[in-house]
Amino acid sequence: MCLAQRFSPKSNTFKWSLDGKEVTKAIDKCDKSEKKGSVTEYSATSILQISAGDWKPNTKVKCEFVHKAGNEEREAEFAGMISLENCECFENRNVYFFSVSLFILCLCLPKSVCFLFPAIFQDCSDIAVDIVAPSLEAMLKNREGVLKCKASADNSGFTKITITANNNDIAEKPVEGNDKYVELDAPIGYEEWSNGTEFTCTKPTVFILAPPEHKPGEPMTLTCYVKDFYPKEVFVSWLADDEPVTSKYSTSLPIQTDQIFSVYSQLTVNDSKWKNGTVFSCVVYHEGIDEKMRVLTSVNISCCKPTIALLSREDGDRIVLECQLNDYFPDKLTVQWLEGINSVKGQIDKKLQNTDKGEKKYTYLSIMKKIMDNFQNLMSGSLKSNFIYFTCTEKSLFKPSVQVKKSHLRDIIQGSQVTISCVVKAPDNTEVSWLINGISRKGTTEHKDPSINNIVSNLNLSRQELTHSTIVCTAKHPCFKLEKVEIKKDPVVVIRRPFVKSMQAASAVLECVVNGLPSGEVCIIFQSDDTPVSGLNCVDWAPSENIWSLITHFTIPSEHQKNGKTFTCTVHRLSKSWKSKPTGNIFGNPTIELAVVPSVSRSSLDTQKLLCSATGFDPKIKWLSVSGENPGRALDATMMEDGRVKVFSEILVPQQEWNQEITCQTKTKTKTAEESISICTVIAPSSQRAEFYLVGPSLSSVRSDTSVYLTCLVVVQSVKLFSIQWKVNGIVPNPNGHEQEPRVHDNGTESKESILKVFVTDWNAYALFTCEVKHLCSDYTQEKRISKTRDPKQPTVRILRPSDSDLSGLQNACLLCLITGFFPSDISVQWQLNETQLDASQFTNSPVAAHTSGGFSMHSALMLPASEWKDGTFSCVVSHESSQNPITATIENLYASLIRSPPSVELLQGTSVPELVCLVFGFSPPAINITWWLGKTEMSAHRITHPAKGPDGKFSIRSHLDLQPSDWVPGEVYTCEVTHVTGILSPNISTKTALFEEAIFMNENKPEAIAQDTVEEAWNMACAFLVLFLLSLFYGCTATLVKVKPT
């Protein structure tokens, strides 16, 4: 592989040669580009593929890179054995290497033996080496696999085999007995196997395609289509009812389309599994899926029965019949119309398929138009290997009703056989049958009366069968569920308290109800705790069509009307008796329940409705409050299952009494039950706390007014239950604030404000103001305090400039002003443009946020419409009590970088370093390109800086061209070509003399070269000393003349 990097322009060529001969085949090339400032740098890769036979000792390969800036070439030679220090072998052994992916196999062989693979050694005909990579299924499914190494030799054995990954031994095994065949397995994790490979994973999309049509008994083919994934490594498996399938399935090789891949997998399913409801799932494992997850798509191939409906309508002198069969699968279905016994074809037949994304189902419509009295519609379809038949009639259908009648008791006693009749009222085509102990039996005789749709089936049984068998009559119609009635042999006995008689004052009446009792003499007796409390009440019972139940009433004696007593009734026949279940504790202690009825209205003047229920033998409710006794409004009563009565009463309580206790009471002769309630008993402790806020005066009012206002805001579910009180320096003021009317909010909360007026002098004197909030039912007082801040902190204000891409886009941009580190939180933020205040609708101020480190912060965003650019000075003006004057941050030239400005260019020459500098400044936008030319030849060896943005919004950039003294030839012309959207500038410099000259002086004592700069420095220093000496001499002479006076 030959790699060339960081060159420009793009045009290039690779040339390969093998042992001096040019190679033109098996060459692949790949180009890439990267933007570095205003210059695009390119890289290119060329890959040469040669056979293993050509890659042998002393083989040389040369790659030459041909480019406009100059040619480069590199040469590679066969390296023989490599990395010997990574393997240790026994004496008289050589080390050989063979690599795959990132893993290296190290083999230790006798010196007399060498191995063949990969054909880079001599005399290797008897050695074979193979590395088996981990399976794709194991890597994608289990995230780990096994790397297997196999080696064999014909003549000599091995002593040790080692597998190395990244110069670290991951598996090693000594070989004893000089075996001629060795194997070594190394466990490899997915991350270790794929290390060094860069790719982008795209999650696959999985579909299971519907199976094609097939003949009954033939196998089905399911297809799982996996598409739009990258990289191409993927594994597909199948599940049947969440278990791996045992049958074979095939998966295609990945199919590439552009940069994505797709595969399909097919599974053959037996026809029996296709029909028994098995759920088949396609499971896909891929890099784009989390290792703990899988992509799973299922198909349920069970059959679906159709639902049938027969509709009719009149069309002139004809009747239109429409048969609808909905939601069935598969679509193998036939519809046949029958007129009498003759088959008639439908005049219109349609088969439709559903369009939703659920299971595939069909709908069939068959329409018949004809004058007729009665039609039958017969539908047959193959579902789950069975034929299902549905029959419906066109005329109005009704559900069958079944009644069973037995012979009179006299006939049963006198005869040896019993006749039971099953009377069925049902439409035509209804089949009546009997079940004796679950075994089907036809009736002895059957009579049908079509005029009244009546069927009577008689069945003769012996007395023993009647007594010891379970007898059921069934009626079956194709359009309805099976109707059946079982013959009850034993009567049902129930004791209960009649509701109407119980509502009478001091009524203690029970009734015994007997259902299903055969004709004959019967006696009834009542018991209290299994002790008879009544005499035998005997009657000759004869049920009729209108009377099916025998009811007997009984009054409970007063001595048995006690707590804990239960009652039963027993029905006696000559040879058998039946007993009821006992009643409940009718005379038990009364119980009472008290509840609050929620109110829809939220007005503080509304009354509160209370509901009380009392349960007992004969409960009566009365209400007690501070205003006296109140009967309330009685509601409907209810008889409970245990025989006790439950009564209800409601009352409306005024708000002033709702704050006091309200009691609901009921009494018996020996027991009183009551329960009390008030507003404080129904309010949870958590609701007795309020959220409230204490807000100080605004900064503007403190500076301009003589009085200011403090606000205490309470927010809670029921604000009328809270009181607000002010204190100034711990003393209650007079007046104690002004409370506003409560307000109801959409979220179910209420709020109330209390406003306190104070003098500015008191505020500026750091008076302490306290707002106390207390719930009506709580002794706990919540309070918050506020006063003027003694040590306010001034905010820090700065404006963040938006990027040029934001300003030039189609969307509106924002100018952000950050205000941080201020205290207290009261602050005012405004925006100005050219010292003119902007409307508040043009900017948005965020809420003030507190920091754990102390102080507050906020920001303000000024909207900059994309449709208009207003250039000038933008100012963020902040007012805070920490400063008498507003704190302002400004920004100018906001749009300067977006307005096209041509660049200015200066060509500079280095003094100490041999270079030329092209200085470009004052341009916008920043996109620019600089090219150096020597005459007409482009020079690529120059350095360029990134465009820098100045305070005026314009950009500057420099390009450095490094030179050698030999490059500065008189007569040459260097040009710096600057290309910008506004035009092209090309300043140049001509070489008239040598770029750099040196003055060389020789010192006899120290023969070293002295640079001209050093000589000039020494000369300047000598002149300075000479001047200072002359000044000192002049000063000395003058002072002497002054001091020596003439005598």
Domain that holds residue 1034: 999-1047
Report if residue 200 sits inside a domain: no
Strand pairing class (471-476; 928-934): unpaired
Mean pLDDT calculated for residue range 636-643: 84
Report if residue 887 sits inside a domain: no
Q: Which residues, in sequence order, are CB contacts of 800 under 8 Å at separation 6+?
A: 815, 816, 817, 818
In whole angstroms, what is the distance from residue 638 CA to residue 587 CA?
16
Q: What are phi and psi of 893, to 5 degrees?
A: 55, 45
| Single-letter code of the amino acid located at 459 | L
Indicate whether 58 pLDDT > 60: yes
Mean pLDDT calculated for residue range 644-668: 87
Structure-token pair, residue 115: 């191995």
CB 63 within 8 A of CB 22: no
CB atoms within 10 A of CB 657: 16
Output the 3-class SS for 29-94. Answer: EEEEEEEECCEEEEEEEEEECCCCCCCCCCCEEEEEEEECCCCEEEEEECCCCCCHHHCCCCCCEE
Three-state DSSP class for 849?
strand
Mean pLDDT calculated for residue range 125-129: 60
CB 378 within 8 A of CB 349: no
Three-state DSSP class for 761?
helix
pLDDT tens for each residue of 11-52: 888 888 888 888 877 566 667 677 665 567 788 888 787 776
Report if residue 35 sits inside a domain: yes
Q: What are phi and psi of 842, to 5 degrees?
A: -90, -10
Report if residue 1039 sits inside a domain: yes
Say if residue 91 is in the same domain as residue 177.
yes
Which residue, chain included where needed, has tokens 């397995």?
Answer: 185
| Single-letter code of the amino acid located at 658 | W
Q: What pLDDT is recorded for position 1006? A: 42
Last residue of a domain, one of 56, 77, 98: 77
Say if residue 360 is in the same domain as residue 437.
no
Report if residue 673 sits inside a domain: yes
Say if residue 906 is in the same domain as residue 974.
yes
Q: Which residues, in sequence order, are CB contacts of 225 under 8 Å at separation 6+?
A: 206, 207, 208, 209, 262, 264
Report if residue 198 sits inside a domain: no
Report if residue 888 sits inside a domain: no
Say if residue 113 is in the same domain as residue 181.
yes
Number of compact structural domains in the chain: 11
CB atoms within 10 A of CB 1043: 7
Q: Among candidates 95, 94, 65, 61, which has minimal Cα distance to 4? A: 65
Q: What pLDDT is recorded for position 605? A: 53
- Does this model's pTM top 0.95? My answer is no
pLDDT tens for each residue of 745-782: 988 899 999 999 999 999 989 999 999 999 988 889 99
Q: What is the DSSP letter of 911?
A: S
CATH number at residue 776: 2.60.40.10
In whole angstroms, what is the distance from residue 615 CA to residue 559 CA?
22
Last residue of a domain, one of 193, 226, 243: 193
Say if residue 410 is in the same domain as residue 472.
yes
Say if residue 948 is in the same domain as residue 926.
yes
CB 616 within 8 A of CB 591: yes
Best mean pLDDT range from 114-118, 161-165, 220-224, 526-530: 526-530
Q: Which residue has the higher pLDDT, 612 or 290?
A: 612
Element (H, E) at 269: strand 260-269
Last residue of a domain, one of 40, 58, 77: 77
Mean pLDDT calculated for residue range 256-260: 82
Say if residue 241 is in the same domain as residue 276.
yes
Indicate whether 101 pLDDT > 60: no
Say if residue 537 is in the same domain as residue 613.
no
CB 538 within 8 A of CB 522: yes
Q: Which residues, in sequence order, are CB contacts of 429 under 8 Å at separation 6+?
A: 376, 391, 393, 477, 478
In whole angstroms, what is the distance from residue 420 CA to residue 486 CA?
12
Q: What are phi and psi of 873, to 5 degrees?
A: -105, 115
Say if residue 924 is in the same domain as residue 825.
no
Q: What pLDDT is recorded for position 712? A: 94
Q: Which of 77-81, 658-662, 950-954, 1006-1010 has the lowest mean pLDDT?
A: 1006-1010
Q: Which of 379-388, 768-777, 830-839, 866-875 has the lowest mean pLDDT?
A: 379-388
Strand pairing class (856-864; 662-667): unpaired
Average pLDDT over all residues of the chain: 77
Structure-token pair, residue 477: 């119609």
Q: Which residue has the higher pLDDT, 338 or 926?
A: 926
In whole angstroms, what is the distance from residue 475 CA to residue 470 CA?
17
Structure-token pair, residue 137: 């299924």
CB 139 within 8 A of CB 238: no
Report if residue 889 sits inside a domain: no
Indicate whether 503 pLDDT > 60: no
pLDDT tens for each residue of 698-718: 888 888 888 999 999 999 988
Which residue, chain included where needed, has tokens 């008030």?
Answer: 678
Q: What pLDDT is recorded for position 346? A: 76
Q: Which of 212-226, 573-587, 698-712, 885-899 has the lowest mean pLDDT?
A: 212-226
Say if residue 410 is in the same domain as residue 355.
no
Say if residue 93 is in the same domain as residue 187.
yes
Q: Which residues, in sequence order, are CB contacts of 462 under 8 Å at separation 6+?
A: 416, 417, 418
Residues of the chain with pLDDT > 70, as a percent, come to 77
Say if residue 120 is in the same domain as residue 73.
no
The Cβ-side half-sphere exposure at 378, using a 13 Å CA radius, reads: 12
